[in-house]
Structure 1
């Protein structure tokens, strides 16, 4: 990585990425349901290392995003400036989402912006599969990273989870489940209402709701999770 630095241009980063492409890794990504048409097959660990090496540069981040290369887009999201990243920027990037992995990587940036709550509400009502997934990935990330946010903010998101739990599309359903589990693991105060919703969904006649609820119940009733939450309270 000696050839990359904070001053590296987008062209230099892209050239570096292309020299580290791996067809074997691309095949491995496919086995996890990741679309690889735009991917070079570089694991997330090295991508994060590159992002740390080149550091934040908002303009370069947009150049990397425009390349269309998945790894470059992940690095773009890790090196853009959240304070300068607008809601319209988020909408434009979300409109190109075509695989769960890019959604889950990029929404980490979205929750660091001041627009995150409005974007969750907006994206949740969007019928596009990966845009809706983005809403619930954002809830999951925010539950972990927005440590100063009051628990009440996340409790108010539970009805949104319930509303869209009937969406049976695989990548939406799994993100709704992820969001519910992360809210329930955020604090003891949130564990109870999240578990109550999981139990309600688990008893549903709807197949998607039932899967989300049962899976969330398993994790939220895990003794290790309960022990960790008890120590925090």
Structure 2
């Protein structure tokens, strides 16, 4: 069966089910991916399917509502960042239950220029919604190249505010955001490293882990050499 832009939600889901791979499902579980509704299809395959069916926001939201892991990844790949609004992003975020979905959505939200949602998501107590904020920061630091460094440096306040969140998927995203800010440019490196050093010597063990790990990368020869360019 070949899928094209006219494929319906039902046709796509039927096709996805033919690609189920139980061995891959087990492997995903070992990487902390939520597999209760997974079919075990790799993301490169999903991205190929997305190119075949093209962007279709209405159909993408129908795919999301199926709850199937692969259908939701395909939904994120086929939503249009040019038309995605904050209300829809909030709706999606309310369903987040896996770091993999969060990180794919974060790239989409940044492409849609929904960074105004970052403080809101950071303040949300739900683990995967808060992770979304810091995944968005990590993505923005890399992809919003034309924006002033000051915009990205402003997120250090959120990094410091939530560096004590010990939940695994939050602390890793906070760490990721801090490291990406520091690697963005020479202007960003100093303030990010200063915060990392502050966290590394603080009283909270989670913040210390975040700080020490960020210091290690931001003072590495590889990073320092790249920032000379």
How far residue 22 of structure 1 moved from its aligned partner, in angstroms, is: 0.9
SS at match of 1:74: helix
SS at match of 2:228: helix
- 1:84 and 2:83 aligned: yes
How far residue 107 of structure 1 moved from its aligned partner, in angstroms, is: 1.6
> Which structure 1 residue ranges, 4+ long, deviate > 6 Å from structure 2?
none
What does 1:93-104 align with in structure 2 at a 5 Å threshold?
93-104=92-103
2:132 aligns with one of 114, 131, 134: 134
What value does the CA root-mean-square deviation take over the aligned residues? 1.2
How many residue pairs get aligned? The number is 229
How far residue 6 of structure 1 moved from its aligned partner, in angstroms, is: 2.3
- 1:108 and 2:102 aligned: no
Q: Which runs of 5+ in 2 are unaligned?
A: none
Query: How far does the alpha carbon of each residue in 1:40-89 deviate from its partner, in whole angstroms, 9 at most, with x for none?
Result: 11111111111122221111111111111111111111111112211111
- 1:56 and 2:62 aligned: no
TM-score by length of 2: 0.96
Which shows bigger deviation, 219-228 or 153-162? 219-228
1:177 aligns with one of 168, 175, 178: 175
Aligned-partner Cα distance in 2 for 1:12–1:146: 36
TM-score by length of 1: 0.95
Aligned-partner Cα distance in 2 for 1:11–1:229: 49
SS at match of 2:95: coil
What does 1:1-233 align with in structure 2 at a 5 Å threshold?
3-114=2-113, 116-231=114-229
